[in-house]
Amino acid sequence: MANKHTIILMQTSQNRATRTFMDYESISQAMDGICGLYERKLKELNPAIRNITYDIADLYNFIDGLADMSALVYDHSIQGYLPYDREWIKQRTFHHLKKLAH
């Protein structure tokens, strides 16, 4: 699962113009990217705070607060991308952060 090209599709608001994507060389890098996106948003909202902390529930609320978020993960066996939903992304970010903590 580690080296599978991953595309994160997201829409930040109901406005279709906010649709965008980010692509990564692996699922792990994609989860880092989502966490980084949230961390940048936190810094933007709290510019005076130097060390911002958050827990998994905060990250989940951020992901759930987006109008849409999904992932496309390349599967070599079918030579194509498999779609994954927001719940899968939340599970993967949890496992990713858990691994980083140990």
Task: List the chain domain ranges.
Answer: 6-101
Task: With a cut of 90, say whether residue 3 has pLDDT above it.
Answer: no
Residue 4 pLDDT level (bands cut at 50, 70, 90)? very high
Share of the chain above pLDDT 70, in %: 98
Dist CA 99 CA 77 (whole Å): 27
Angle at alpha carbon of residue 59, lines to 84 and 25, rounded to 5°: 45
Query: Which helix (H) or strand (E) covers residue 28, if one does?
Result: helix 27-45
Mean pLDDT, residues 54-72 taken together: 96
pTM: 0.90
Task: With a cut of 70, say whether residue 1 has pLDDT above it.
Answer: no
Burial 15-40 (b: 16+ CB within 10 A, else e): eeeeeeeeebebbbbbbbebbebbee
| More reliable by pLDDT, 83 or 52 | 83
Task: With a cut of 90, say whether residue 2 has pLDDT above it.
Answer: no
- Report the DSSP pairing between strands 19-24 and 6-11: antiparallel
DSSP string of 61-80, one letter each residue: HHHHHSSEEEEEEEETTTTE
Residue 77 pLDDT level (bands cut at 50, 70, 90)? very high
Mean pLDDT, residues 12-34 taken together: 96
Instruction: Name the token pair of 46.
Output: 């709290």
Task: With a cut of 90, say whether residue 100 has pLDDT above it.
Answer: no
Q: Is 6-101 CATH 3.30.2260.10?
A: yes
